Structure 1
Amino acid sequence: MNRILVIRTGAIGDLVLTLPVIGALRAAYPDAQIEVMGYPSRLSLIDGRYYADRISSIDQQEIAPFFSENSSLSDRLVSYFSGFDLIVSFCVDEDGVFADNLRRTGAGQVLSLNPIPDPNCSAHIIEHLLEPIRALGVPVTETSPKIFLASEDRKFAEAFWQEHRLEQAVAIHPGSGSRKKRWRPERFATLSDWVMRDLEAAVILISGPADEDAVMEVANRITAGRPVILETPSLVHLASIIERCGCFVGNDSGISHIAAAVGTPTVAIFGPSDAEVWGPRGDHTVILKGEIDCSPCTREQMNACPHTSCLGLVEEREVREKVKGLLTACGRAAPERRTREMGADHMPDGTPGIRRVFM
């Protein structure tokens, strides 16, 4: 097995949840070149960092005919795909047309799986994603995602710490892909006050491209000190900063999956989604969820829900207790750095009173 291609579309969390698949392929075929196709801004998390020797974009005009039957395929892409001994595709491909067209190129072997499990599936999404390579006979020894940062990534976080004169810090991400998945801003604010007053730690509020309103709703309620607002960082820089924090608290979002995958003690607050299927996995990860009959629910039910009582049932006291417990258990005075031995071709090792950091 000389060349392997993994095709993974979807959001940030979807990529993180696929890492055990790529990691198993890396372990089974250590001399193979592994390429991952998807959205480059997200794939930067793994580019040259253990999993991917090379990344490529699926957002190409010539890719579109591969999703149509009896279409004329690009000679360039036919030549490109035919060069792989194994292609593992995690694209929504209900009629199998995309996979069939990949086979038409002459690629060695094509495995395809719909990344969205059956609604009645109770297994964790990672177990679902591992099905194709398990069927191939690839051994799987690690089912929790792990992100391996490079030395230059950690140097960036160290410089960030020095610039902002930080010692201990807790990262908080109040946003999510849906407003219906967000814990109440006043509770995030009260939690932030407790972190600064009782733990004597700094608070880093993480703001992604669609999180500004959610973050400012929290920041404007904080009274104990000045949080650092980290705005639209690259995913690699974000991961390096979260790794250095003593703890992370967030909603059901891709950022919570990153926090768990870099090894930071993580408290993830879930509401409408099924945490048994979609929750982050990690050695020091706790998921809090209010128990209510209507949760978990479908996306349609979530969008129509007028109250999201499931999130309201998670109290700030519960989150405080989990944060304290994780900090005590993990002794987080410094980041637990992930490293992995690899060959030479892989990774070598605003509002007044608010500090806003643009990256």
Structure 2
Amino acid sequence: MNIGVYSPNWVGDAVMALKFIGRLRKQYADDKLIVIARDWVAAIFDNHPLINKVLPVPTKELAGVFNTIKTGRSFQKLNLDIFFVLPDSFRSAVIAWFSKSNTRIGFTGQMREPFLTDQMDLPKEAIHRSEKYIYLIQNDEHALDFQHVGITLREQEIKWANEILQENNVQDPIGLLTGSVAKSRSVPIGKWIEIAKDKSADDNKFVIIGEKRDAGNAQKIIAQVGEDRVISFCGKHTLRESIALISRCRAVIAADSGLGHIAADLDIPTISLFGAGDPEKTRPLGDLTQVVTANVHCSPCGDNICGNTLEPMICLDSISSTQVWNTYSDLHN
């Protein structure tokens, strides 16, 4: 059979879907597994040993009703027998319907039901998002002993990352993943400066990894901490290259972000700073990962923009650099 998976649309969610991929492969061991993903998240699934094909979809091909229908019809050539729709969006269900796959499985809501053959109600209990995706797999009893396979880098990608660090005279750095799509999850610049200048930071060198939009803040951090201790790769590399650079870090301190999920999945010691986000639902998964939170009265609010006008960003401002470095010590002991 041909099994299709419509990936979540955000990097962190795509990483959290990798456990779903492991369960799915266990259940459909001999079938062809095709992951369809927006172009900005397709790198998460690249070179994955459990996936037969990754099909990136350019954003422009999903703009508007006509392009959405056209994209769905283009998937008819895949001859999908089963299509798992992981996003909750109306658009993703419409695309699955136009693919003419025999079975289309997804969650209810947003008037998606007519486009799905198998509609699943969202779990009523609070569960981690990775488990939410797995909830879509029916008759999952035989897949409980699956082996998780995370992001898989090629040897040449690792070699490239080592060469980039050597060219910049950096060895065994600590990664600072400062950016986040949601403003409420973006750690204030002053907090990053406090963390990097804390006495517990010793003489560690830092590399800031992120998108082009993070470059301005990275330069402000460098101006305060020093070019001899911090360099920025923001906006200079593809997502796949950024993954390779993260894999070469001794440890990572991350905002609640997709890159934080990547670091955790790579088994890099990862400290995730959470404020608005709920760790019970979206914490990064990894054996060497810990979440740091201030547990203030208004968090986790789950909002993308801070609504606390009297104490804006108190959830992240209240995290101390001492908390961060104590957690770092715990991870390295």
Partner of 1:37: helix, strand, or coil? strand
* Shift in alpha-carbon separation, 1:295–1:190, aligned structure 2, 3 A: closer
Q: Extract unaligned runs of 5+ from structure 1.
A: 330-359
Distance 1:308 1:119 in 2: 30
Say which of 136, 144, 152 aligns to 1:132: 136
Q: Which letter does structure 2 place at the counterpart of 1:17? A: M
Distance 1:172 1:258 in 2: 13
Superposed CA RMSD = 3.2
Q: Which letter does structure 2 place at the counterpart of 1:153? A: E
Identity percentage over the alignment?
19
Match of 2:76 in 1: 79
Match of 2:289 in 1: 285
Q: How does 1:1-359 map to 2 (within 5 A)?
A: 2-58=1-57, 59=59, 60=61, 64=65, 77=74, 79-81=76-78, 83-93=79-89, 98=94, 101-102=97-98, 105=100, 107-113=101-107, 121-135=125-139, 139-141=143-145, 146-194=150-198, 198=202, 200-223=203-226, 225-232=228-235, 233-299=237-303, 302-306=305-309, 307-327=312-332, 329=333
Report the alpha carbon displacement of residue 40 of structure 1 after superposing the two structures with TM: 2.3
* Shift in alpha-carbon separation, 1:164–1:195, aligned structure 2, 3 A: farther
Distance 2:27 2:171 in 1: 41
* Shift in alpha-carbon separation, 1:229–1:195, aligned structure 2, 3 A: farther
Report the alpha carbon displacement of residue 205 of structure 1 after superposing the two structures with TM: 1.0
2:8·2:17 contact (CA, 8 Å) conserved in 1? no
Report the alpha carbon displacement of residue 53 of structure 1 after superposing the two structures with TM: 2.4
Report the alpha carbon displacement of residue 179 of structure 1 after superposing the two structures with TM: 2.7
Partner of 1:324: helix, strand, or coil? helix
1:260·1:266 contact (CA, 8 Å) conserved in 2? yes
Distance 2:285 2:204 in 1: 25
Report the alpha carbon displacement of residue 11 of structure 1 after superposing the two structures with TM: 1.2
Report the alpha carbon displacement of residue 115 of structure 1 after superposing the two structures with TM: 10
Distance 2:17 2:143 in 1: 15
Distance 1:259 1:115 in 2: 32
May I ask how many residue pairs the two structures share in their alignment?
A: 318
Distance 1:121 1:79 in 2: 36
1:66·1:101 contact (CA, 8 Å) conserved in 2? no
1:115·1:129 contact (CA, 8 Å) conserved in 2? no
Q: Which letter does structure 1 place at the counterpart of 2:175? A: A
1:94·1:114 contact (CA, 8 Å) conserved in 2? no
* Shift in alpha-carbon separation, 1:298–1:227, aligned structure 2, 3 A: closer
With normalisation by structure 1, the TM-score equals 0.78
